[in-house]
Amino acid sequence: MRVERIINDTNDEFPIGIRVLAVDDDPTCLLLLESLLRRCKYNVTTTNQAITALKLLRQNKFDLVISDVHMPDMDGFKLLELVGLEMDLPVIMLSANGDTNVVMKGITHGACDYLLKPVRIEELNNIWQHVVRRKRFERKDRYNSDSQDKLRANSGEAVGMGSIGNNGKLKKKRKDQDEDEERDENGHHNNEDPSIRKKPRVAWSAELHGKFVAAVNQLGMKNATPKKILELMKVEKLTTQNVGSHLQAFIRTFSAYSYDDPKVITKLTKFRLYLKRISCAANQQVNIAAAVRMRSPNGLGNFHTLAGSNQLHNAAFRSFPPRGVLGRLNTHAALLIRGLPSPGTIRSGHGQNSVNSGNDQCKLQSFVSGIHNANILHGLPMSLELDQVQTNKGVSHIGELPIADSTTVFPVSSSLIEATVTGFSGNPLLGVTSNSLMLEASSQQAGNSRDIDPAIGFRNGNTLSDFAPLAPASNRKSNADLQREPIPINWNAGELITSAPQEWNSPYQSNVTPCSMNSSIPVSGTMVQFGLCLDQNNSTDSDSIGPLSFIDNSAMEQSIIDKEGYLMLEPWGQGSHIPYNIGLLEDLWEFQ
């Protein structure tokens, strides 16, 4: 497989020689860590200050960062976020404190692993996996998103991409560009090993984003096309594709915010990177089958029957064509997963969890899922979209088509997602559906990575009963499992779904978290919300709520932009997105 071949070409003795940066203020542990890492034959650099670490990271190329949590000059979580934001490297947290909430915090802030002191050499022997994982997903994501970008650029930012007929064109173009992918068309220079990264990511640093925002401000939303933005930004080695994808994320996140607000900018960047991460991961798996299965004859509204059908489990395991389209879709999926404990849900007054717990869970979910979860999400939106195709009439959005070759999916999906998101408060079923999908995804995924039989077992035709009661259930569980365990989260999601249909009798106990239920709800909203409250320990309700409503739009907008080339810019002028979403939701329900 190409990815593996490339990675192998990089370093025949991989993982020997991966460049690790170790940060710890305790000199004892630092020295010990350094020796252990050297013993594992890694290339080690150490520092006892976070600020120095950042400097080193900016100057040199590293593959992995191991950082202590408690440091005097900068909080380990802050460093973690910054690294993820700027360099997008895998970061492993290290601490003597193994409390679940601290571990959770680490995972939600994006750590790909959390080790406890005393750190053992066996654990360090395995950390290279994070490097491979990240590279692999990023390659795929870049491949996909580059294809997407090319497609979009090729269509010349035209608005008329909405028709289904274009879908075939898109596909064809994507295929044509498969060969192009290897060429460094982005114009980026690969100063690193060319075999590692064909196309280096554009790290949207605060400065770069500031330029971007200034350009967008200057042009105005209607005129903010990637090409023009790029011209205004005057940044070398930036392509319209990069700007375009960034613009999408931007629109998605900031439709309700003023984009001059630096706080918002930070959020956006974080959000953007999470999107990237998610889409990378989501490219792997696809439970489109689940999505397909979700489609019920009655359309969206009829979740009961939908859930009940055995199609659910069938769908779950159909392989998903890992195409570029998914890249975008993944964000939806990611949102879904991230939004496990949808704060929106909570807020909607279904009385399921406290907002705080929801937020925490949200944070937890979003990060925990990591690569694994992304897959789940990936599948989810697709199903939603497929459903939509049949029933949706009023949706003008063109959701991401998880299945490139399914032209029918085009029009509706995004509306479904939206409806799901906004309608969550009112439509537990929608949420449940997502959960089911998630379940499928998670179970599939879980099945792949570990033998999670219960999750798989669940698949056999459960009706989605009323979702709401599910939420309060099983709160405590698997907190411990959450430690460094992205999979369990999925589990929970899966379990929730399972329990939902089965009158809440989860066949398998562990790892059931109410979070999963929440996740189903706001597909995109959650994500944004999550992103917003991500690094803010004091995220307020308003924070969460704010993005929620327009997240949906952004999610949809993104896909629309993909297809239609900024068609979605229109809604910006319209003002409120919330009624827009609600309207769609109503439309959906009409189809019952």
Partner 1 sequence: MLGLAADRLRADMNRLLSFLFHQGILDEQFLQLQQLQDETSPNFVSEVVNIYFHESEKLLRNLRSLLMDREFSDYNKMGIHLNQFMGSSSSIGAKRIRNVCLAFRAASDQNNRAGYIHAAFAPPFFSASTFVLECIRGART
**Which residues in this chain contact partner 1 in the complex, by CB under 8 A?**
25-29, 31-32, 35-36, 39, 68, 70, 95-97, 117-121
- Nearer to partner 1 by Cβ, of 25 and 466: the residue is 25
The two structure tokens encoding residue 353: 């969890």
Query: Which one, 30 or 545, has the nearer CB to partner 1?
Result: 30
Phi, psi (rounded to 5 degrees) for 68:
-75, 155
Q: At its nearest, how many Å lie between partner 1 and the CB of residue 97?
A: 6
DSSP lists the bridge partners of residue 529 as none
CB of 29 to partner 1, least distance (A): 5
Q: Tell me, what amino acid is at 363? A: K
Pair of tokens at residue 429: 């079923």
Rank residues 96 and 158 by Cβ distance to partner 1 and give the closer one.
Answer: 96
For residue 125, the minimal CB distance to partner 1 (Å) is 13
Task: Output the smallest distance, CB 73 to partner 1, in A.
Answer: 13
Rounded to whole angstroms, the Cα distance separating 252 from 587 reads: 22
Evaluate the CA torsion angle 149, 151, 155, 160 in order and state its sign: negative
Q: Least CB distance from residue 40 to partner 1, whole Å?
A: 11
Whole-number Å distance between alpha carbons of 409 and 317: 19
Would you say 25 or 570 has its CB closer to partner 1?
25
How many residues are present in the chain?
592
For the bound state, the minimum distance from the C-beta of residue 533 to partner 1, rounded and expressed in Å, comes to: 23
DSSP 447-499: HHHS--HHHHHHTS------SGGGTTS--STTHHHHTT-HHHHHHHHHHHHHH
Closer CB to partner 1, residue 24 or residue 587?
24
Tell me the sheet residues that pair with 371: none
Segments in 40-127 forming alpha helices (H): 50-59, 76-86, 100-108, 121-125
Helix ranges (DSSP H) in 94-239: 100-108, 121-125, 128-154, 165-182, 206-219, 226-233
DSSP class of residue 380 equals H
Q: In terms of CB distance, is 35 or 218 closer to partner 1?
A: 35
Measured distance CA(553)–CA(574) in Å, rounded? 12
Tell me the C-alpha distance between 268 and 254, whole Å.
8
Distances (CA, A) of 408 to 146, 168, 389, 391, 570: 24, 11, 6, 11, 24
Q: How many CA atoms lie within 13 A of 419 on its CB side?
A: 33
Q: Which is nearer to partner 1, 31 or 206 (CB)?
A: 31
The answer to whether 279 touches 524, Cβ cutoff 8 Å, is no
* Least CB distance to partner 1 at residue 356 (A): 20
- Give the nearest distance from C-beta 116 to partner 1 in angstroms: 9
Beta-sheet pairing, 113-116 with 19-23: unpaired
State which residue, 121 or 206, has the beta carbon closest to partner 1: 121
* Cβ(337)–Cβ(242) below 8 Å: no
Instruction: Find where tokens 């029918």 sit.
Output: 408
Judged by beta carbon, residue 38 or residue 172, the one nearer partner 1 is 38
Q: Closest approach of Cβ 83 to partner 1, in Å?
A: 21
Residue 409 has what DSSP assignment? G
CB of 76 vs partner 1, minimal distance in Å: 12
**Nearer CB in complex with partner 1: 20/493:** 20
